[in-house]
């Protein structure tokens, strides 16, 4: 009987949640869901000096937005709490393990002050070895319980002298483990330094906390970024000394997300420099007041965000790139995760968002688009936001007509009623408008440009697009058009187009020469959906008023 799969994401609440962090969450989440396990959020707030107000809430909110909510966490305590390491420390969870390590000879007290450590690094720094570490050789020269008189150690301890507890890494051993992504990875103990386990303030470092907590929380699989690989031997030794290697979770070190140009880890700075978000949501550092934009506020859909992150380092081998979270859960596997880092490509990211905007019904993002319209001072009449009670009858008839005969077979019990659900939820008039333009929108704010003119007359008209080819005959045509539109009885795209073309024929002008001017009059420029669809949605009054307005501009 194998244990229940349990994974955790253990961020440090020091700032905004980075792309790479969300991807780590995602892989954790997908693996947990795929194997019917639990996904846990644990806050690594062991460094009091780096605590940032609001960061924890921000992380939780980001996960919520992305739809990657934990099964257990500070907000949703389970049986393995508390879920903040500061609180776990308060319960004394770590000291006893550090003490055990000392008793067993796997750790020791070190009394060196930060200044002494600094002096040591300076003293032993050479061109050959620019970063000397506190290791099995250098510790002989330092003030620790391994190389001091036991009586002196006791005396210092009794006197309350500040100390840290360091792991004792002895040379001569090979530490190896099987990484789920990289396979066999090994280190020799002689090259690993004596990492601090327990700090002078009594808080554990990440190294101690991660193994103690993973053990206590019964974590079965631990995924983290590749930058953690070098400290893996420390964690493995700790597992070996404290709980036994057989209890250790399976490790997977995820490849890094790299900056698009050049090399190196993607940072917030790169986003600022190149003009794209790096954090999940907007984040302002409370200490510096430095703002950073988020994917959410830039107009990414959570579905697209998750999708593009999943593909940054993983694929299912079929070439499929568009996946819903459910599909990802069904197909995700660690052995298809890349070993090498991936450069982040913002153009591709926008492509994913575009695909999801097209794929999802406008109703799934209309609320957010509505806010964007409001922010731009574009008022949407309340009647446009009311969802019709039943499906549009014309649409229903259309679907009925397209049905294959077998569907109406009474034997099968299928009729038009069976098809109604496939129409999906009905859309509000506002959402119908969004549907009309969504294939032109990569980011949510694009809707303002692409659909704003439906609700607000364009502020500027691209007269230059009309004027060079303008003529008295065309002017006459549009004056007559206004008159005809006032009389039009069937205000729908098809009738409007038919009437328009008949008039053009009568006036002996090619319709093509008239369509562009009409478009510019209605939307202000050379863009947008079919011009008669626009007129149909705009309604008689607004259509006529916009034509008249531009006609006035052309006269001037």
What is the contact mask toward RNA in residues 157 to 186, using x (rule: CB under 7 A)?
Answer: -----x-x-----------------xx-xx
Q: Which of residues 256 and 281 has its CB atom nearest to RNA in the complex?
A: 256
Calpha distance 2→102 (Å, rounded)? 33
DSSP 498-540: HHHHHHHHHHT--HHHHHHHHHHHHHSSS-SS-HHHHHHHH-H
Question: ∠424-426-427 over CA atoms, to 5°?
Answer: 120
Task: Give the shortest CB-121-to-RNA separation in angstroms.
Answer: 6
Task: Give the shortest CB-334-to-RNA separation in angstroms.
Answer: 13
Task: Kindly state whether residue 311 participates in binding RNA, applying the rule CB under 7 A.
Answer: yes
Among 271, 341, 452, 524, binds RNA (CB under 7 A): 341
Residues that bind RNA (rule: CB under 7 A) add up to a total of 87
Residue holding tokens 């301890």? 157
Three-state SS letters, 469-500: HCCHHHHHHHHHHHHHHHHCCCCCHHHHHHHH
Task: Give the shortest CB-458-to-RNA separation in angstroms.
Answer: 13
Q: Which of residues 51 and 414 has its CB atom nearest to RNA in the complex?
A: 51
Task: Give the shortest CB-515-to-RNA separation in angstroms.
Answer: 4
Task: Kindly state whether residue 526 participates in binding RNA, applying the rule CB under 7 A.
Answer: yes
Query: SS3 of 112, please?
Result: coil
Site residues for RNA, 391-430, by CB under 7 A, read: none
Cα distances (angstroms) measured from residue 85 to each of 47, 93, 134, 236: 10, 9, 26, 20
Calpha distance 359→337 (Å, rounded)? 26
Task: Kindly state whether residue 34 participates in binding RNA, applying the rule CB under 7 A.
Answer: no
Q: Which of residues 38 and 226 has its CB atom nearest to RNA in the complex?
A: 226
Task: Kindly state whether residue 510 participates in binding RNA, applying the rule CB under 7 A.
Answer: yes
The alpha carbons of the chain give a radius of gyration, in whole angstroms, of 33
Task: Give the shortest CB-393-to-RNA separation in angstroms.
Answer: 26
Q: How many CB atoms lie within 10 A of CB 294?
A: 22
Minimal CA–CA distance to 232: which of 222, 219, 246, 242? 222
Task: Give the shortest CB-176-to-RNA separation in angstroms.
Answer: 9
Tokens of 260: 């698009």
Site residues for RNA, 223-242, by CB under 7 A, read: 226-231
From 45-53, 60-68, 466-474, 487-495, give the range in contact with RNA by CB under 7 A: 45-53
Task: Kindly state whether residue 462 participates in binding RNA, applying the rule CB under 7 A.
Answer: no
Among 203, 385, 396, 551, binds RNA (CB under 7 A): 203
Q: Which of residues 135 and 414 has its CB atom nearest to RNA in the complex?
A: 135
Task: Kindly state whether residue 252 participates in binding RNA, applying the rule CB under 7 A.
Answer: no
Q: Which of residues 51 and 391 has its CB atom nearest to RNA in the complex?
A: 51
Among 16, 277, 302, 528, binds RNA (CB under 7 A): 528
Task: Give the shortest CB-501-to-RNA separation in angstroms.
Answer: 7
Tokens of 189: 């103990």
CB distance 281 to 426 below 8 Å: no
Cα-Cα-Cα-Cα dihedral sign, residues 482, 486, 490, 492: positive
* Residues 6+ positions from 269 with CB-CB distance below 8 Å: none
Task: Kindly state whether residue 463 participates in binding RNA, applying the rule CB under 7 A.
Answer: no
From 32-40, 214-222, 342-350, 478-486, give the range in contact with RNA by CB under 7 A: 342-350
Q: Which of residues 132 and 415 has its CB atom nearest to RNA in the complex?
A: 132
Q: Which of residues 14 and 282 has its CB atom nearest to RNA in the complex?
A: 14
* Helix axes 511-523 and 493-507, enclosed angle (nearest 10): 130
Question: ∠262-265-268 over CA atoms, to 5°?
Answer: 100
What is the contact mask toward RNA in residues 95 to 134, using x (rule: CB under 7 A)?
Answer: -----------------xxx--x---x-----xxxxx-xx
Q: Name beta bridge partners: 342.
A: 257
Calpha distance 407→486 (Å, rounded)? 44
Task: Kindly state whether residue 315 participates in binding RNA, applying the rule CB under 7 A.
Answer: yes
Site residues for RNA, 255-274, by CB under 7 A, read: 255-256, 258, 260, 262-265
Site residues for RNA, 466-485, by CB under 7 A, read: none
Q: Name beta bridge partners: 39.
A: 7
Q: Which of residues 203 and 274 has its CB atom nearest to RNA in the complex?
A: 203
Task: Kindly state whether residue 44 participates in binding RNA, applying the rule CB under 7 A.
Answer: yes
Tokens of 95: 């000291």
Tokens of 340: 């090498």
Cα-Cα end-to-end distance for the chain: 85
Task: Kindly state whether residue 446 participates in binding RNA, applying the rule CB under 7 A.
Answer: no
Q: Which of residues 202 and 415 has its CB atom nearest to RNA in the complex?
A: 202
Task: Kindly state whether residue 530 participates in binding RNA, applying the rule CB under 7 A.
Answer: yes
Among 6, 7, 8, 12, binds RNA (CB under 7 A): 12
Task: Kindly state whether residue 321 participates in binding RNA, applying the rule CB under 7 A.
Answer: yes
CB distance 380 to 367 below 8 Å: no
- Using CA atoms of 55, 58, 60, 62 in order, give the dihedral in degrees to the nearest 10: -140
CB distance 265 to 257 below 8 Å: yes
Among 340, 393, 405, 468, binds RNA (CB under 7 A): 340
């Amino acid at each position: 009987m194998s244990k229940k799969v349990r994974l955790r994401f253990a961020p440090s609440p020091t700032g905004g949640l980075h792309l790479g962090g969300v991807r780590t969450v995602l892989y954790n989440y997908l693996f947990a869901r795929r194997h019917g396990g639990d996904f846990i959020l644990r806050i690594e707030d062991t460094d009091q000096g780096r605590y940032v107000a609001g960061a924890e809430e921000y992380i939780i909110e980001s996960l919520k937005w992305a739809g990657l909510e934990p099964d257990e966490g500070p907000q949703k305590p389970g049986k393995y709490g508390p879920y903040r390491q500061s609180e776990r420390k308060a319960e004394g969870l770590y000291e006893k393990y550090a003490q055990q390590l000392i008793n067993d000879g796997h750790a020791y007290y070190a009394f060196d002050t930060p200044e002494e450590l600094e002096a040591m690094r300076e003293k032993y720094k050479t061109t050959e070895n620019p970063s000397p570490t506190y290791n099995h050789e250098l510790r002989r020269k330092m003030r620790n319980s391994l190389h001091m008189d036991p009586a002196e150690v006791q005396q210092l301890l009794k006197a309350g002298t500040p100390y840290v507890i360091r792991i004792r890494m002895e040379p001569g051993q090979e530490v190896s483990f099987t990484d789920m992504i990289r396979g066999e990875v090994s280190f020799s103990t002689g090259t690993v330094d004596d990492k601090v386990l327990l700090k002078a303030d009594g808080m554990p470092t990440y190294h101690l906390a991660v193994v103690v907590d993973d053990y206590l929380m019964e974590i079965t699989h631990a995924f983290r970024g590749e930058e953690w690989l070098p400290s893996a031997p420390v964690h493995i030794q700790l597992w070996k000394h404290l709980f036994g290697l057989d209890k250790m979770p399976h490790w997977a070190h995820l490849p890094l997300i790299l900056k698009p140009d050049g090399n190196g880890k993607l940072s917030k700075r790169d986003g600022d420099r190149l003009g794209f978000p790096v954090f999940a949501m907007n984040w302002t550092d409370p200490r510096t007041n430095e703002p950073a934009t988020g994917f959410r506020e830039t107009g990414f859909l959570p579905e697209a965000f998750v999708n593009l992150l999943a593909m940054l380092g993983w694929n299912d081998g079929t070439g499929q790139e568009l996946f819903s979270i459910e599909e990802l859960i069904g197909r995700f596997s660690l052995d298809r995760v890349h070993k090498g880092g991936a450069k982040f490509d913002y153009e591709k990211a926008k492509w994913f968002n575009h695909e999801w905007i097209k794929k999802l019904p406008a109703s799934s993002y209309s609320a957010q688009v509505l806010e964007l319209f409001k922010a731009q001072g574009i008022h949407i009449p309340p009647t446009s936001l009311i969802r019709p009670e039943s499906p549009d009858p014309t649409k229903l008839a259309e679907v009925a007509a397209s049905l294959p005969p077998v569907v109406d077979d009474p034997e099968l019990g299928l009729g038009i009623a069976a098809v109604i659900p496939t129409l999906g939820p009905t859309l509000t008039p506002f959402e119908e408008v969004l549907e009309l333009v969504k294939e032109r929108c990569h980011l949510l704010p694009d809707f303002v440009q692409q659909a704003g003119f439906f609700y607000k007359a364009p502020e500027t008209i691209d007269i230059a697009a009309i004027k060079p080819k303008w003529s008295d005959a065309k002017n006459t045509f549009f004056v007559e058009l206004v008159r005809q539109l006032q009389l039009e009885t069937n205000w729908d795209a098809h009738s409007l187009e038919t009437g328009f073309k008949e008039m053009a024929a009568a006036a002996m002008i090619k319709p093509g020469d008239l369509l562009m001017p009409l478009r510019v009059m209605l939307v202000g420029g050379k863009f947008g959906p079919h011009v008669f669809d626009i007129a149909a949605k705009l309604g008689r009054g607004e259509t006529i008023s916009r034509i008249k307005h531009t006609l006035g501009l052309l006269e001037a």
